[in-house]
């Protein structure tokens, strides 16, 4: 295996470009747990870098088997590519997942919960990652992201998803008109979470196919989009001002999952 000792090494410079979102053909994966998730998910891993201080023989051997380019990096040089303050000493580069609306259609026809989540201008990568993680746990068919949303495969979003982003279809840059057309073509009722709407999320029959639209915590769903959605729901929260996006998504999605489990 090659050993790199200088932070100025060109290969490490290329890793930083992926980490910082400059090179979007690959994704940056850091940490032991995410490395294991990447292997388990069958992700196409192109490169592996680990600190010479890392003491994880089994994981290293698994990566040597799965990845052609495995490189040892001196601890001080490794710090230049890490995205976390207390790095665990392992970074992978993998092929960026590419999902399409056709993939969502396939999932809807399979065993997944007949529910697609459309996120309207979500800008917080940690929140986005948490929603992806929750959506996989609830077995929804997949997600769409509007243009202007944060990168679903940024380092922070991937950490927030805890590996779910490697498996759950996330289709990026889907215009709202395209989302509505997809819903119509696939028999999905459009529904939006709106704090000013009367019906509770629990009153909906989630066994029927839906496209659930969620907006950002800062701005909610854009008004021009909200007007074109068939149904609206709210989460009764008493005197609390609002809920974190990932918490709100979890409440709704797990009610949908509960209904699906009961009917199944």
Q: What six digits make up the tokens of 71? A: 């490189």
3-state secondary structure of 228: coil
Q: How far apart are the first and last CA of the chain?
A: 51
Intervals of CATH 3.40.1280.10 along the chain? 101-263
Provide the pLDDT confidence category of residue 152 given band limits of 50, 70 and 90: very high
pLDDT tens track for 187-246: 999 999 887 767 899 999 999 999 999 988 777 788 888 889 999 998 887 766 678 899
**Exposed, middle or buried, 125 (CB in 10 Å: 0-12/13-18/19+)?**
buried
Residues 6+ apart with CB under 8 A from 130: 160, 161, 245, 246, 249
The 8-class DSSP code of residue 22 comes to S
Crossing angle (nearest 10°) for helices 176-185 and 101-108: 30
Tens digits of residue pLDDT in 2-14: 899 999 999 999 9
2-95 has CATH 3.30.1330.30 classification: yes
What percentage of the chain carries pLDDT values higher than 90? 80
pTM of the entire structure? 0.92
Backbone angles phi, psi at 233, to 5 degrees: -135, 165
Positive or negative, the Cα torsion across 258, 259, 263, 264?
negative
Q: Is 213 left (phi over 0), alpha (psi -120 to 50) or beta?
A: beta
- Architecture per CATH, domain 101-263, reads as 3-Layer(aba) Sandwich (3.40)
3-class SS of residue 214: strand
- Chain region(s) in the chain for CATH 3.30.1330.30: 2-95
Residue (of 115, 122, 103, 91) closest to 26 by Cα position: 91
> What integer pLDDT is reported at residue 263 of this predicted model?
67
pLDDT in tens, 30-79: 999 999 999 999 999 999 999 998 888 899 899 989 998 999 999 999 99
Phi, psi dihedrals of residue 29, rounded to the nearest 5°: -125, 125
| Length, in residues, of the chain | 264
CA dist., res. 231 & res. 103, Å (int): 25
Q: Is 216 helix (H, G, I), strand (E, B) or coil?
A: strand
Number of CB atoms found within 10 A of residue 195's CB: 13
Res 239: pLDDT:
67
Q: Which of 93, 152, 89 is nearest to 118 (CA)?
A: 152
- When the pLDDT of each residue in the chain is averaged and rounded to a whole number, the result is 92
- Which residue intervals of the chain are DSSP H helices? 10-19, 32-40, 57-66, 75-78, 101-108, 125-137, 155-161, 176-185, 223-226, 245-263
Q: How far apart are CA 50 and CA 71, in angstroms?
A: 6
């Amino acid at each position: 295996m090659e050993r790199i000792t200088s932070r100025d090494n060109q290969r490490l410079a290329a890793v930083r470009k992926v980490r910082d979102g400059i090179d979007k053909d690959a994704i940056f994966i850091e940490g032991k747990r995410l490395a294991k998730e990447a292997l388990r998910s069958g992700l196409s891993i192109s490169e592996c870098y680990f600190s010479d201080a890392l003491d994880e023989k089994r994981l290293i051997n698994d990566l040597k088997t799965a990845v052609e380019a495995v490189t040892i990096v001196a601890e001080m040089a490794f710090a230049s590519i890490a995205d976390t303050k207390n790095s665990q000493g392992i970074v992978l580069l993998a092929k960026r997942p590419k999902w399409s609306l056709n993939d969502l259609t396939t999932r809807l026809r399979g065993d997944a919960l007949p529910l697609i989540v459309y996120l309207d201008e979500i800008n917080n990568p940690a929140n986005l990652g948490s929603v992806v993680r929750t959506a996989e746990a609830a077995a929804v068919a997949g997600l769409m992201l509007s243009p202007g949303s944060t990168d679903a495969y940024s380092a922070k979003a991937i950490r927030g998803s805890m590996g779910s982003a490697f498996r759950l279809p996330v289709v990026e840059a889907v215009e709202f008109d395209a989302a509505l057309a997809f819903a119509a073509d696939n028999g999905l009722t459009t529904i939006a979470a709106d704090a000013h709407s009367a019906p509770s999320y629990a009153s909906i029959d989630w066994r029927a196919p839906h496209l659930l639209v969620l907006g950002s915590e800062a701005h909610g769903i854009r008004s021009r989009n909200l007007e074109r959605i068939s149904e609206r729901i709210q989460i009764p929260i008493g005197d609390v001002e609002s809920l974190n996006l990932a918490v709100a998504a979890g409440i709704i999605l797990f009610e949908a999952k509960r209904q699906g489990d009961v009917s199944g």
